[in-house]
Amino acid sequence: MVGIDFGKPLFTSEEIQRKIHELGARISTDYADKDLLVVGVLKGALFFMSDLLRSLRISVRMDFIHSTSSASQDREHPVHIIADMKEDIKGKHVLLVEDIIDSGLTIDFLKRMLADRGPASLKVCVLLDKPGRRQVQIEADYAGFRIPNKYVVGYGLDYKERYRNLPYIAVLPLEERQTP
């Protein structure tokens, strides 16, 4: 990309696609006889969810929830819902798709919120798992890559709404985080 060079990607576009196909095969097998609703967490999961849906060998429905994390990382109110999903999930099999589990606060909050709506099942699929920053005990049912405690961007992950469009995932250099 013009003006953006982070050197060697943490995960190339090809590595990401291979991992997504692996996840898609597992999910397709696990939900072969179920009616699945895939719920993406905006904005970060958009690229991942789009490619994941195309890799599934089963028919699914989709919806989105738009949330934002609290700047204070308040455990009582870690997430603000900007736009809720449209589907009623009572009695349905739901797969919540997120770009990354970092502190775990967002996924934990969303999972508890959705569980209260009475789905038949509720599982979580993430592209990246960063256990080094976990503040709550939560694990994804389907996880792509485990990463070190580094700030990453690309493929939907951002820094101040920038870099989401990178076709790979890279560690954001400290000097990039210090620019206005």
Q: What are the backbone dihedrals phi and psi of residue 80, each rounded to the nearest 5 degrees, phi first?
A: -115, 130
Of the candidates 134, 160, 149, 8, which has an alpha carbon nearest to the alpha carbon of residue 75?
A: 134
Alpha carbons 158 and 22: distance in angstroms, whole number: 24
Alpha carbons 40 and 160: distance in angstroms, whole number: 20
Residue where the block lists tokens 């904005």: 43
For the question of residue 30 being annotated catalytic, the response is no
Q: Catalytic pick from 102, 116, 141, 158?
A: 102
28 burial class (0-12, 13-18, 19+ CB within 10 angstroms)? Answer: middle
DSSP state of 150: -
In the three-class reduction of DSSP (H, G, I as helix; E, B as strand; rest coil), residue 131 is classed as: helix
Widest distance between CA atoms in the chain: 50
CA 165 centroid distance within chain? 15
CB-CB neighbours of 47 under 10 Å:
22
Please give the positions annotated as active site. 102
